[in-house]
Amino acid sequence: MKFLMDNSPEQLTQKKQSALVMGQLLTPLTRYADWGGQYAIDNGAFSGFPRQAFQSLLKRQSEHRDRCLFVTCPDVVGSGRRTLELWRYRAELFPTKWRDKAALVAQDGMEDLSIMWCEMACLFVGGGDPWKDSQAAADIVRTAKTLGKWVHVGRVNTPKRYDHFAALGADSCDGSGVAMYDHMLQKIERRNDPAPSLFEGCGDDGKGV
């Protein structure tokens, strides 16, 4: 599982030194320039869907859709039912040429609803923290991978969450903290490093030098 970063091309070039970084996450909120490699587009709907800005971003990227992994369909945070209703009306939100890139955002309660697996290019795991880390969300990820779908996980900022979804077979992830702070990415990179010895840095006699 590798990161898509909501960063500028210059910042991303720096972060790309990490083996855990694969590309860029573009959003209608930050509107960073395209870095020229693999990318995906998020809808920016966490605090209200910016429809005009979202469609403007799709228009800007239309000549580069071949490098795009997925585009998230607008969702309602915390509500699987309302998010699936928006999915059914996605033709009104997506230009025709982008519909084959559409990603469904999994939200709380979606495990008890009918998911149209054959219609999506990608499953984007959203939802509140308790639900995201639940068995219900894990089962949805397993179903997506069994059906050969790309799985992306949002808000991955800790080694624990990274390992959890990597073990489930997720393909990509993002995290605002990881995008902003290098030390958070480094903590995930070094999560399997051995713990430092009690006497690390000491001489052979354990008393230092």
Q: What average pLDDT does the segment 161-188 reach? A: 97
CB contact set of 177 (below 8 Å; sequence gap of 6+): 157, 184
- Fold classification of 2-189 is TIM Barrel (3.20.20)
Say what the pTM is: 0.92
Q: Is the pLDDT of residue 198 over 60?
A: no
CB contact set of 130 (below 8 Å; sequence gap of 6+): none
The pLDDT of residue 31 is: 94
Q: Is the pLDDT of residue 30 over 90?
A: yes
Q: Is the pLDDT of residue 50 over 70?
A: yes
Q: Could you write out the DSSP letters of every residue in 84-144?
A: HHHHHTGGGTS-GGGGGGEEEEE-TTGGGS---GGG-SEEEE-S-HHHHTSHHHHHHHHHH
| pLDDT-derived band at 209, boundaries 50, 70, 90 | very low
Domain boundaries, the chain: 2-189
Q: Is the pLDDT of residue 208 over 50?
A: no
Provide the mean pLDDT of the chain.
93
The pLDDT of residue 203 is: 52
For strands 172-173 and 150-153, give the pairing: parallel
